[in-house]
Structure 1
Amino acid sequence: NKRVTIPLPRIDIPHFSFGSGEKGGVGQGEGEVGDEVGQGQPQPGEGEAGDQEGKHTLEVDVTLEELANILSEELELPNIEPKGKENIEDKKYKYSGIQRQGPESLRHFKRTYKQALARSISSGDYDPDNPIIIPVKEDRRFRSYKITHEKTANAVILYMMDVSGSMGDEQKEIVRLTAFWLDTWLSTQYKGLERRYIIHDATAREVDSDTFYKTKESGGTLISSAYKLALKMIEDHFNPSEWNIYLFHFSDGDNWSGNDTADCMKIIEQNLLPISNLFAYGQVESRYGSGQFLRDLHKHFGETNEQVTTCQIKDRESIMDALKVFLGKGK
């Protein structure tokens, strides 16, 4: 039930306002050389108390679920169909009936009163002028529950990001915003959703979310190091028969060598695709990045591959288009 606050743009109705006094003229009007044009706007915390109303910002609170529904409608996203073999049975207790015996904590007071009233009327003891109803032991009713087994599905998102010198703060902010929307949507599709974070330059390591978005290195880039670590984490912690696995990799497209790129294609094709619901690569545009890795993926897998989803994210305005590409297949 987490909520977010969204500021709404507000357009004021046009109106006339009185000036704040003669300040001297400029241009072709009145005024002499050296006259003060104005004193400017006071800085926050300066000036005297005023008698005019301030500017108010309209805000609306929405839950993350409502936000996900809005996202779904805007992008026309399909509901995800989890892999069948990972479904896990979960016990659910549902109060669905009434019984004569039970603990006091489950007593149904409304049904107990109705039973006592019916007994009082049928026995002739009920007095409309003095409608006092006293339940006896036989009148008590209790809620009963039954255990149902429902299928649930667990999911894990493995975020991978290049943090080499060519990935700046602007690129990381785009990744952060994209990941927020991915999280928001997938959280509505799965009851249990875990997130893991991998950063890489020439080597890869697992980190927490805060480190993921703030770390910057100055070394080169070996993308295969991230894919190898992701594979090891899946093998150690996320059995593909029990988990829906989503892999999202963000980079500016630079890689150290063609040999490492060839290793990446091999790991994706032979190891990651068979065990994951989705492998998605988002290339964040950078003035220092070559963008070559996206071209290599297209060359190896094709531009419209059902198993490998790729997208170029040029700026913040491109994030919604990227989400449409990443989530539009309903996997």
Structure 2
Amino acid sequence: MTRTVERDLRRFNEIVRGKIRKDLRRYVNHGEMIGRKGRETVSIPVPNIEIPHFQHGQKGSGGTGQGEGDPGQPIGRGEDEGEGIGPAGNEPGRHIREVEVSFDELAEMLAQDLELPNIIPKGQDSIQAIKNKYNTISRTGPNSLRHLKRTYKQALKREMASGTYQPERPIIIPGRDDERYRSWTSVPQPQANAAIFYVMDVSGSMTDEQKEIVRIEAFWIDTWLKSQYDGIERRYVVHDAVAHEVNEDTFYRVRESGGTKISSAYHKVDQIIQRDFPPELWNIYIFQFSDGDNWGEDSQACTKFLTDELLPVANLFCYGQVRSPYGSGEYIKDLKRILEANDNLILSEIDSKDGIYDSIKLFLGKGK
């Protein structure tokens, strides 16, 4: 019976995950689950799922709700009935269930659907994490770690050595000196870490719709990269004509005005790398989002700084140009001039939310 239930549960979970995978592009492009994320799971509305239920046997001889009843006595309403307002309809209801999915499962689905390769961290994994392994025996320790087999073996050895062991009456009573406990050693392990930079133009030409596109894409990028690295550090940089390092909440809410000078953001990112993330120890990812509007004389300085400073230390530098009714969209043309010489530079043009899915695949599809 237990095996049957477990098999049915596994099958049901496979059906649920199959429906999520089927609609993954819609979830990605429109951000339906971003507001439903917790610490470790995401709540996803999945329609048209038949929930397993008990099948009752034959009617018994008694119980609540049974009996002859009196003439004219109304039947009680069920808990799940509606209010009964309006005429009867002939269409089936739309059943939607909230399904909890872990971020690891979500990353796996994303990888399968987008055919994302696993990332190979660059350089040496120089940052060490300490892991305790219970692989030794100690003469002291808490009762919860007492090793019963070793304790009785030690007591047996003691009695045999002292000549007190009686084979015809093999009763072993361990003493305090016989007690043995599991113990551990601390083993340093390589720990691959990633520093992720999100850079966004917040000048007046970037609307709330463009920022929503950035927020959705950043969520999925985070989900994938967290599945590839033990440690993730994020930094957020916003800029108009001047760049500032901000927290995540400010990154998505701030609205500025004035001109645009992208090079100020590049210099700010470089300062943070030098301060917090030595390139020989960290895998560095930079995701920049803009509508492509930049002060004309600044674009040449940007491409030079990218080529000389940021691209040599970054695993990936991804530029996403979001279509805006106000921005000129010219900056991506300047980046295309250095694209061929830098295989870690990836460019994406995002016309609307429907372009998020393809942009993520373009950014992460190289496995760098």
CA drift at 1:63: 1.2
Quote the Cα distance in structure 2 between the aligned partners of 1:213 and 1:221. Answer: 18
Contact map agreement 2:49 2:97 (CA 8 A) in 1: no
Local SS of the residue matching 2:129: strand
Local SS of the residue matching 2:337: helix
Q: Does 1:204 align with 2:213?
A: no
- 2:134 maps to which residue? 95
Structure 1 pair 236/118, CA: closer, same or farther in 2 (3 Å)? same
- Which residue identity lines up with residue 235 of structure 1 in the other structure? Q
Structure 1 pair 7/270, CA: closer, same or farther in 2 (3 Å)? same
**Number of residue equivalences:** 288
Structure 1 pair 136/49, CA: closer, same or farther in 2 (3 Å)? farther
Unaligned runs of 5+ in 1: 13-47, 128-132
CA drift at 1:140: 3.4
Contact map agreement 1:116 1:136 (CA 8 A) in 2: no
1:26-66 residue CA offsets vs partner (Å, 9 max, x unmatched): xxxxxxxxxxxxxxxxxxxxxx9449998652121111112
CA drift at 1:185: 1.2
- Which residue identity lines up with residue 239 of structure 2 in the other structure? H
- 1:267 maps to which residue? 305
Q: Does 1:250 align with 2:289?
A: yes
1:132-186 residue CA offsets vs partner (Å, 9 max, x unmatched): x975446634213233221112221111001111111111111001111111111
The 5 Å alignment of 1:62-211 reads 62-85=101-124, 87-97=126-136, 99=137, 101-105=139-143, 107-108=145-146, 111=149, 123-125=167-169, 136-137=175-176, 140-211=179-250
236, 260, 268: which is aligned to 1:221? Answer: 260
Unaligned runs of 5+ in 2: 1-38, 51-81, 160-164
Structure 1 pair 141/329, CA: closer, same or farther in 2 (3 Å)? same
CA drift at 1:93: 1.1
Quote the Cα distance in structure 2 between the aligned partners of 1:314 and 1:87. Answer: 40
Structure 1 pair 237/107, CA: closer, same or farther in 2 (3 Å)? closer
Contact map agreement 2:47 2:95 (CA 8 A) in 1: no
Percent of counterpart pairs with the same letter? 47
Q: Does 1:301 align with 2:339?
A: yes
CA drift at 1:312: 1.1
Contact map agreement 2:221 2:360 (CA 8 A) in 1: yes
CA drift at 1:298: 0.8
Structure 1 pair 145/166, CA: closer, same or farther in 2 (3 Å)? same
Q: Does 1:323 align with 2:360?
A: yes
Contact map agreement 1:106 1:143 (CA 8 A) in 2: no
307, 310, 316: which is aligned to 1:278? Answer: 316
- Which residue identity lines up with residue 107 of structure 2 in the other structure? A
CA drift at 1:117: 11
Local SS of the residue matching 1:275: coil
CA drift at 1:112: 6.3
Quote the Cα distance in structure 2 between the aligned partners of 1:139 and 1:123. Answer: 20
Contact map agreement 1:116 1:134 (CA 8 A) in 2: no
Structure 1 pair 140/230, CA: closer, same or farther in 2 (3 Å)? same
Quote the Cα distance in structure 1 between the aligned partners of 2:166 and 2:100. Answer: 53
Structure 1 pair 228/10, CA: closer, same or farther in 2 (3 Å)? same
Q: Cα RMSD over matched residues? A: 3.1
1:113-142 residue CA offsets vs partner (Å, 9 max, x unmatched): 876999999855579xxxxx9754466342
Quote the Cα distance in structure 1 between the aligned partners of 2:221 and 2:358. Answer: 12
183-192 or 158-167, which moves further after superposition? 183-192
CA drift at 1:274: 1.3
- 2:46 maps to which residue? 8
CA drift at 1:290: 2.2
TM-score under structure 1 length normalisation: 0.77
- 1:230 maps to which residue? 269
Contact map agreement 1:3 1:63 (CA 8 A) in 2: yes
Quote the Cα distance in structure 1 between the aligned partners of 2:225 and 2:115. Answer: 15
Contact map agreement 1:89 1:149 (CA 8 A) in 2: yes
Contact map agreement 1:5 1:60 (CA 8 A) in 2: yes
Local SS of the residue matching 1:148: strand
Contact map agreement 1:86 1:240 (CA 8 A) in 2: no
116-125 or 2-11, which moves further after superposition? 116-125
1:261-317 residue CA offsets vs partner (Å, 9 max, x unmatched): 001001100010112111110111122222211122112324x84121111122222
115-124 or 279-288, which moves further after superposition? 115-124
Contact map agreement 1:112 1:135 (CA 8 A) in 2: no
82-91 or 207-216, which moves further after superposition? 82-91
- Which residue identity lines up with residue 40 of structure 2 in the other structure? K
